[in-house]
Amino acid sequence: MSTPLSPDSLAVLARQAIEVPSWAYGNSGTRFKVFGTPGTPRDPFEKVADAAQVHRYTGLAPAVAIHIPWDKVEDYDALTGYAHDQGVAIGTVNSNTFQDDDYKFGALTHEDAAIRRKAIDHHFECIDIMGRTGSRDLKIWLAEGSNYPGQADLRGRQDRLQESLQEIYARLSGDQRLVLEYKFFEPAFYHTDVPDWGTSYAQVSALGERAMVCLDTGHHAPGTNIEFIVMQLLRLGKLGSFDFNSRFYADDDLIVGAADPFQLFRILFEVLRGGGLDEDSPVAFMLDQCHNVEDKIPGQIRSVLNVQEMTARALLVDREALATAQRAGDVLGANAIFMDAYQTDVRPALAEWRASRGLPEDPMAAYAASGYFEKISAERVGGTQASWGA
């Protein structure tokens, strides 16, 4: 076998799993325009069907994250069963407090206790759904903040956020977890209530052991060294999950690895270095992307392949030689060892790996040849195409 990957590395690849988001299969766009596309799902079942395609061709995406209320259904057993039939599971449950007029000035942080109550209750509903779908993680991303200096009481909001999270956290049971995402800006422009990893870390540390931080790779200020944060959160035992995507400037939500593949490599190296892909790792991996102009299912296939490719490259780093060079202060030598892994083309080895597991060597081509897109384009006529609003 021509693969440069060691047995240990192959074992890591074998257990790598990346949740795909149900909303990636619906329409999305910018504030300027959302383009419609043929074959777009009209309900959560159709989204799950599309998500299952990604797993079928890659073996990398055994679970689908859902978003409430976008993925509300009458019967969660039916949805869970349908997913199972498609070969996937329902994964993380995402709450949503940004599309209700009541939340214009906040949800978990709102000045008005009645609105906080409503937002907390929404999270209780999510936890109930988790119980029915067998999901472990409740992921909370908050759109809360303000647009103008003086508009909001930054401190009061932070205190109320902690109180609201306490209530939600107390509702968890068994091995359920709460993961709190941070985001630098948008949709609020002046201040965001959870803008950085430090805030998320301080908030979840005050909750307890089953509260963790979610790191979205697109949610940082320009110039931020993201792999450093990965290292730090793993070191502090608080890295709960990843939202993978890529960006050139803002929160572009592009295909992970598309904007800066080397950065993705460095991130995955720190994940490995910190035990994030060990067997008992607490880190969940997810995509969070918006396929505004590209095809959605192939966009997702490309995404999980990108993560796998950079993981494989990161696995190639000769860590012993690297440590020796680092200890010696050999800047160029250490960098060369690191880059040597990054510059290696692992695609042939991964194609072999896939073939050895009964998967197509070229998942993009196999999907394209499958006729699935033509089928859904023909079948899914009428109804309302899923998007962020539904």
Q: Which is nearer to a second copy, 19 or 227 (CB)?
A: 227
Q: Give the chain's end-to-end CA distance (angstroms, integer).
A: 48
Min separation Cβ 378 and a second copy, Å: 20
How far apart are alpha carbons 121 and 119 in whole angstroms? Answer: 5
- Of 8, 14, 3, give the one whose Cα is nearest residue 319: 8
Q: Which is nearer to a second copy, 76 or 201 (CB)?
A: 201
Q: Provide the b/e sequence for 283-319 (b: ≥16 CB within 10 Å).
A: bbbbbbbbbbeebbbbbbbbbbbbbbbbbbbbbbbeb
Q: Which is nearer to a second copy, 286 or 337 (CB)?
A: 337
Token pair, residue 350, equals 């991964």
Q: Which is nearer to a second copy, 62 or 145 (CB)?
A: 145
How far apart are alpha carbons 364 and 156 in whole angstroms? Answer: 50
Q: What is the largest CA-CA distance in the chain?
A: 66
Q: Which is nearer to a second copy, 81 or 208 (CB)?
A: 208
Min separation Cβ 57 and a second copy, Å: 14
Contacts of 153 (CB under 8 A, 6+ apart): 111
Min separation Cβ 81 and a second copy, Å: 32
DSSP 47-60: HHHHHHHHHHHHS-
Min separation Cβ 23 and a second copy, Å: 12
How far apart are alpha carbons 165 and 140 in whole angstroms? Answer: 10
How far apart are alpha carbons 184 and 195 in whole angstroms? Answer: 4
- Of 199, 195, 198, 196, give the one whose Cα is nearest residue 186: 195
Min separation Cβ 191 and a second copy, Å: 5
Which helix (DSSP H) or strand (DSSP E) does residue 64 occupy? strand 63-67
Min separation Cβ 286 and a second copy, Å: 19
Token pair, residue 346, equals 């692992």
Q: Which is nearer to a second copy, 36 or 174 (CB)?
A: 36
Q: Which is nearer to a second copy, 63 or 283 (CB)?
A: 283
Min separation Cβ 312 and a second copy, Å: 12
How far apart are alpha carbons 313 and 307 in whole angstroms? Answer: 10
Neighbours of 356 (CB within 10 A): 11
Min separation Cβ 364 and a second copy, Å: 7
Min separation Cβ 353 and a second copy, Å: 16
Q: Which is nearer to a second copy, 128 or 196 (CB)?
A: 196
Q: Which is nearer to a second copy, 10 or 259 (CB)?
A: 259
How far apart are alpha carbons 253 and 346 in whole angstroms? Answer: 25
